[in-house]
Homo-oligomer: A and B are copies of this chain.
Amino acid sequence: MGCLTGEILKLTIFGQSHSAQIGVVLDGLPAGIYVDEAKLQAFLDRRAPGKNAHSTKRREADEVHVLSGLVDGYTCGAPICAAIVNGDTRSKDYEALRDLPRPNHADYAAYVKYGRYHDIRGGGNFSGRMTAPLCIAGGICLQILEKKGVTIGAHVLQAGPVQDDPFDPMGVDPAVLQALKAKDMPTLNEQAETEMRWEIENARMALDSLGGTVEAVCQGVPAGLGQPMFGGVENRLSQLLFAIPAVKAVEFGEGTGFASLRGSQANDPFRLDGEGNVRTATNRCGGILGGISSGMPILVRATFKPTPSIARQQRTVSLSAGEERSLAIEGRHDPCIVPRAVPCVEAALAVGLVDLMLQRAAETGI
């Protein structure tokens, strides 16, 4: 039941890493929205592996096929279904793993949950590959948001020991956000980019992997989105972000940093901008007050655990024999998935924001 989310915009993701196809159904978009399929494909290509030395050597075609919901490029009111045909899948690599759960992977949990029926190939429905359909949905939503004046950008704030400069919480130049989208190692600081590449290559050489943090900003979001309690912007976006495999922490604004602050340091004073609009003089709350968007940029960070697939010997157990064993994971794996996760974070946020905007319309339209 976990493949479905959304209040107004219902998002359903199907597929496993090595199933015939993977895809998404997106229901609830108004009719008459133009979806630029070339642009959608270009967005999806941003998460594709195989583009540089650091990422997995698998070549994923990841060509989006729209099965329904668009007529001549426009939404027709029916749900959009879009799918990707799975091509280069080497399923034999995985069968041996069914008995030996990989540390920090979902194998053991899936074994408890689904028994021997779990699709172990490529991680099944727990695979990072399932972020491709999320990116299809997100790519569509990003196009919608763009027309509404909402821009989402993201970068690798941290990869292992290397930190990038953080976004200015008061707002980031859209040209800077645009430039980040063209980079396979999206950072604000060039030195950080260089060091990150070096650290990732270093981890690979050490048969190891790196964790990291993606920071994202959503600009132009109107004030008033979200509901109190369980329907707040933070509740909804975090629920989406934790759907990206390996995310283990989600923060808004100062996030964990709030623990060390005093109220006088944390409070964002209200002020008026030149046009008489209510703004805040600082933006430590990351654009969200009481769970509701304030009109300031929404700032969010998602921290990823290191890629669990490492080539070093690791301890595990044989589920059939009930004995401890050791395991070295072979195959093609990213030593740091954080750069590729950047568009996934953008996608999750875009889906959430469109849903929140549609819900806001229901609040005001009657």
Any chain B CB within 8 A of the CB of A220?
no
Evaluate whether A238 and B226 lie within 8 angstroms (CB atoms) in the complex, with A15-B81, A267-B314, A361-B366 already known: no
Q: Mark A230-244, 1 if CB is under 8 A from B, else 0.
A: 111011101110110
Name the residue in A106, A271, A281 with the highest tally of chain B Cβ atoms < 10 Å from its Cβ: A106
List chain B residues, Cβ under 8 A from A301. Answer: 256
A76-B125, A109-B292 given. 11 additional CB < 8 A pairs? A2-B227, A16-B76, A21-B81, A67-B83, A71-B121, A78-B125, A108-B223, A206-B262, A267-B310, A270-B315, A362-B362
Contact of A259 among B252, B304, B362 (CB under 8 A): B304
Q: Which of A344-366 contact B (CB under 8 A)?
A: 354, 357-366
Chosen A-B contacts, 14 in total, with CB atoms closer than 8 Å, are A12-B12, A16-B71, A21-B68, A23-B68, A31-B114, A77-B114, A104-B267, A105-B290, A108-B278, A126-B291, A130-B228, A212-B259, A256-B301, A269-B315
Any chain B CB within 8 A of the CB of A118?
yes
Chain B minimum-CB-distance residue to A116: B32
Chain A interface residue number, banded: 35 or more
Evaluate whether A259 and B22 lie within 8 angstroms (CB atoms) in the complex, with A248-B234, A292-B109 already known: no
Q: Which of A277-295 contact B (CB under 8 A)?
A: 278, 280-281, 284-286, 289-295
Any chain B CB within 8 A of the CB of A229?
yes
